[in-house]
């Protein structure tokens, strides 16, 4: 088992990662009857895409002995209705470090083939942008 999710009432859940014991919480967003004091489940889905991309690129950088520490991703989740769903995710990856053209291509390919990217429904429009410092 990966995690245990518990409904706490008030449209809030706790999610415990069983291997590490780490707990995170979610709230329904304010535009869907919630408090919006925590990530919503759809916020986590969109943010998980960016986290997966950065993690996979980190693995590749370790293999290539490249430092990308300090690289960030800015995530915009776009919602649609009827049915309510994520319709788009825009991510701006801002790289810290020095990368040549070959390394940039490898990192872009790595980001765009991460497991979460392949797990999203094909109707979700993912827009990726890259800034190289």
The answer to pTM > 0.85 is yes
**CA-based diameter of the chain, in Å?**
51
Domain assignments of the chain as residue spans, ordered by start: 3-32, 41-132
pLDDT tens by residue, 63-121: 999 999 999 999 999 999 999 999 999 999 999 999 999 999 999 999 999 999 999 99
pLDDT tens by residue, 21-79: 999 999 999 999 999 999 999 999 999 999 999 999 999 999 999 999 999 999 999 99
Q: Do the beta carbons of residue 89 and residue 75 sit within 8 Å?
A: yes
**Element (H or E) spanning 76, and its range?**
strand 72-80
DSSP class of residue 32 equals G
Looking at the domain 41-132, which fold is it? GMP Synthetase; Chain A, domain 3 (3.30.300)
């Amino acid at each position: 088992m990966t995690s245990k999710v518990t409904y706490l009432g008030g449209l809030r859940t706790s999610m415990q990662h069983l291997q590490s014991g780490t707990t995170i919480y979610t709230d329904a967003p304010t535009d869907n009857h919630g408090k919006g004091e925590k990530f919503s489940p759809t916020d986590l889905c969109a943010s998980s895409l960016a986290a997966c991309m950065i993690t996979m690129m980190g693995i590749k950088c370790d293999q290539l002995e490249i430092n990308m520490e300090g690289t960030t991703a800015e995530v915009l989740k776009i919602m649609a209705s009827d049915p309510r769903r994520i319709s788009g995710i825009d991510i701006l990856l801002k790289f810290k470090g020095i990368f040549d053209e070959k390394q940039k291509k490898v990192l872009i390919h790595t980001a765009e083939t991460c497991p979460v990217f392949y797990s999203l429904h094909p109707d979700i429009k993912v827009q990726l942008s890259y800034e190289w410092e």
